Chain A
Amino acid sequence: MKRHFRVWRGDASGGDLRDFDVEVNEGEVVLDIIHRLQATQAPDLACRWNCKAGKCGSCSMEINGKPRLGCMTRMSTFTDDETITVTPIRTFPVIRDLVTDVSFNYEKARETPAFAPPPGVAPGEYRMQQVDVERSQEFRKCIECFLCQNTCHVIRDHDENKPAFSGPRYFIRAAELDMHPLDDRSDRKEYAQASQGLGYCNITKCCTEVCPEHIKITDNAIIPMKERVVDRRYDPIVWLGRKIFRRDQLESADGAVPTVNPPMSSARLPEGPPVGPDGHMEIAELSAPTQGGLSPFGEDLSFPLPPEYVSYHHPERPSEA
């Protein structure tokens, strides 16, 4: 049975929606149809995909205007005569067809402070109770499809907010680490407020609506983080309690709050993949200098990374960090 599709084709210099009539069989998903288009009518249609099981987060696209994973959108959810429009995710620069440049997210990931190991506990000796780490574990389900980043109107409709706003994916990262029982940093709330742009969020919950992993981004991460910021910055009762009971001095006397925090991120900036003399990448990986997916951090990485590229700071040997 044939169904009508409209697929956006083009690159940064322009493009438009093209019409296709494609065969659709029972049990198929939108990504299957994109693959059939590649096999039959549009062999050079670009599309990122990997696992076809909703676990790799590669095939993010907008299907009938809704940010979805291509592999998790069943064709049976559409009526027989419905036209299905497939476009690339809107918030990020387009590379080609359905493939976008999501390096914004990698930049924000690098700016987010990493896990700070607890002092006096060697790696391998970390012990924690399930109830303590449970909340953080919800956020580990994230597959980094960036649909939440794409749908968030703060950057989707206002590109100028990108430098100041990290987006829902990095708010759950901040919440994950702030709620982590062994994380040693104490300035994550201040960081979320001052450097991640938590205040830009107006909790309209679109990130939660589109999350394919059903993470309760707004209720379990963003709002708790906002409340933690209120604890620190806006709550006069907390402030008064600290003054009366001298908790601020107690905390620093315990050594529980480190006075100097390590820097937020490493100095290395994201790099693009290698390009030919014309400034463009090779069209097929067979002729490219490296095979497989190109790393957003560049193809010339060798391991172990030089120390200045790593944002990990050993608690007892800060000089080596």
Chain B
Amino acid sequence: MTTTATKPGGGGRLRAAITARTLRTDRWWLAPLVTFIGLGAWVTYATVRVFMHQWFFVEEYLYLTPFYSPCLTDLCGPAAEFGTPLPSFLLIPEAAFTLPFLLLFRLTCYYYRKAYYRAFWLSPPACAVPDGHKTYSGETRFPLIFQNAHRYAFYAAVIISVINTWDAIHAQTTGLGLGNVILWINVLMLWAYTASCHSCRHIIGGRMKHFSRHPVRYRLWTFVSALNTRHMQLAWITLGTLALTDFYIMGLAAGWFTDLRIIG
């Protein structure tokens, strides 16, 4: 015997009784796992390095690692370009004025939010895979409503990118070595990541209603939009270049290897 259909919106308001939490058969857990390991490893490395308080400057070639720029404590010595207003103390990073903003910039970044909400908070771990939490209020209330502060972190990140560029120029005065090349690649990638930010895309032109009245901003917006499609790749590339730059300078400062000099 055939049954008649239930009226929509009427009596039955129940979802289909499917017992499996997810019916996905592909390796949906791989991407969040890779993100978890990648971000976890990077954060561990960065934390260890920031609180190491040594091997951050190569005096001979003026190489300063981005994790210690600008260097502001008594420990800095010749690496201090902007004075030393801070005391040297185990818990105060040498770049104590900039690192919190860089952390905020990456934490509130629209790509990293996707990455850590999926990989760390499991909300959701992958598409059509159930959320790991019973209740959910998203970014509507404290503390996650502060994700909206991304734009201020972006303004700060622009200033910090200028400081990093200055570091690369400053190191360039000693000649040319592999360290300079690494520093420049890092700075270039940091600029690309910062410029491809969704907030930047909005400020540069996305907020306008009439592109035709602002042709220059429209051109800039198309350029930033093209970069913006690669925001995820740039986010990972800059993690790589930051760690590599820091490791290279740490190795030089600790005397594990010497700089490959091209000029000077």
| Contacting residues of chain A (168-221) with chain B, CB-CB under 8 angstroms | 179-181, 197, 199-206, 209-210, 219
B209 contacts chain A at the CB level, 8 A cutoff: yes
State which of B10, B149, B151, B209 has its C-beta within 8 Å of the C-beta of A272: B10
Q: Could you tell me if B22 and A10 are in contact, using CB atoms closer than 8 angstroms?
A: no
Q: Could you tell me if B207 and A281 are in contact, using CB atoms closer than 8 angstroms?
A: no
Q: How far is the CB of B59 from chain A (nearest CB, A)?
A: 40
The winner among B10, B113, B123, B229 for most chain A CB atoms within 10 A is B10
The winner among B128, B139, B144 for most chain A CB atoms within 10 A is B128
> Quick one: CB contact mask for A65-98 with B, threshold 8 Å, 1 for yes?
1110000000000000010010110111111100
Q: Could you tell me if A11 and B138 are in contact, using CB atoms closer than 8 angstroms?
A: no
Q: What residues of chain B lie closer than 8 Å to A205, measured between beta carbons?
A: 114
A103 contacts chain B at the CB level, 8 A cutoff: yes
State which of A11, A17, A203, A206 has its C-beta within 8 Å of the C-beta of B3: A11
Residue of A nearest to B231 (CB): A219
Interface-side segment among A28-36, A49-57, A223-231, A258-266: A223-231
Interface-side segment among B62-70, B93-101, B164-172, B198-206: B198-206
A153 contacts chain B at the CB level, 8 A cutoff: yes
B44 contacts chain A at the CB level, 8 A cutoff: no
Given contacts A64-B25, A94-B15, contact A131 B8 (CB under 8 A): no
B24 contacts chain A at the CB level, 8 A cutoff: yes
A157 CA / B128 CA spacing, docked (Å): 9
Residue of B nearest to A276 (CB): B4
Q: What residues of chain A lie closer than 8 Å to B128, measured between beta carbons?
A: 62, 65-67, 90, 151, 156, 206
B251 contacts chain A at the CB level, 8 A cutoff: no
Q: What residues of chain B lie closer than 8 Å to A100, measured between beta carbons?
A: 16
Given contacts A65-B23, A235-B151, contact A203 B113 (CB under 8 A): yes
B12 contacts chain A at the CB level, 8 A cutoff: yes
Q: What residues of chain A lie closer than 8 Å to B110, measured between beta carbons?
A: 203, 223
> Quick one: CB contact mask for A215-250 with B, threshold 8 Å, 1 for yes?
000010001101111110111000000000000000
Query: At the interface, is chain B mostly helix, strand, loop or mixed?
Result: loop
Residue of A nearest to B115 (CB): A204
B256 contacts chain A at the CB level, 8 A cutoff: no
Size of B's binding interface in residues, CB under 8 A: 59
The winner among B117, B118, B140 for most chain A CB atoms within 10 A is B140
B36 contacts chain A at the CB level, 8 A cutoff: no
Given contacts A224-B202, A228-B207, contact A16 B17 (CB under 8 A): yes
A27 contacts chain B at the CB level, 8 A cutoff: no
A257 contacts chain B at the CB level, 8 A cutoff: no
Q: How far is the CB of A147 from chain B (nearest CB, A)?
A: 10
B223 contacts chain A at the CB level, 8 A cutoff: no
Q: Could you tell me if A93 and B202 are in contact, using CB atoms closer than 8 angstroms?
A: no
State which of B7, B13, B20, B124 has its C-beta within 8 Å of the C-beta of A281: B7
Q: Could you tell me if B212 and A202 are in contact, using CB atoms closer than 8 angstroms?
A: no
A273 CA / B7 CA spacing, docked (Å): 7
Q: How far is the CB of B122 from chain A (nearest CB, A)?
A: 10
| Contacting residues of chain B (12-33) with chain A, CB-CB under 8 angstroms | 12-18, 20, 22-26
Q: What residues of chain A lie closer than 8 Å to B199, measured between beta carbons?
A: 227, 230
Q: Could you tell me if A181 and B198 are in contact, using CB atoms closer than 8 angstroms?
A: no
A44 contacts chain B at the CB level, 8 A cutoff: yes
A263 CA / B23 CA spacing, docked (Å): 43
State which of A13, A66, A92, A227 has its C-beta within 8 Å of the C-beta of B24: A66
A101 contacts chain B at the CB level, 8 A cutoff: yes
A282 contacts chain B at the CB level, 8 A cutoff: yes
A307 contacts chain B at the CB level, 8 A cutoff: no
Q: What residues of chain B lie closer than 8 Å to A276, measured between beta carbons?
A: 4
Q: What residues of chain A lie closer than 8 Å to B25, measured between beta carbons?
A: 64-65, 82, 85
Q: Could you tell me if B9 and A103 are in contact, using CB atoms closer than 8 angstroms?
A: yes
State which of B12, B139, B212 has its C-beta within 8 Å of the C-beta of A12: B12
B263 contacts chain A at the CB level, 8 A cutoff: no
A199 CA / B144 CA spacing, docked (Å): 9
In the assembled complex, 18 residue pairs joining A and B whose CB atoms fall closer than 8 Å, in A order, are: A44-B2, A65-B24, A85-B25, A95-B12, A101-B8, A132-B209, A158-B136, A199-B138, A199-B145, A203-B113, A204-B123, A206-B127, A224-B201, A230-B148, A230-B151, A272-B10, A273-B7, A296-B8
Q: Which residues from chain A sit less than 8 Å from chain B, CB to CB?
A: 8, 10-17, 44, 46, 62, 64-67, 82, 85, 87-88, 90-96, 99-101, 103, 129, 131-132, 134, 151, 153-154, 156-158, 160-161, 179-181, 197, 199-206, 209-210, 219, 223-224, 226-231, 233-235, 270-273, 275-276, 278-283, 296
Q: Which residues from chain B sit less than 8 Å from chain A, CB to CB?
A: 2-18, 20, 22-26, 110, 113-114, 117-118, 123-124, 127-128, 130-131, 135-140, 144-145, 148-151, 198-199, 201-202, 206-207, 209-212, 218, 228-229
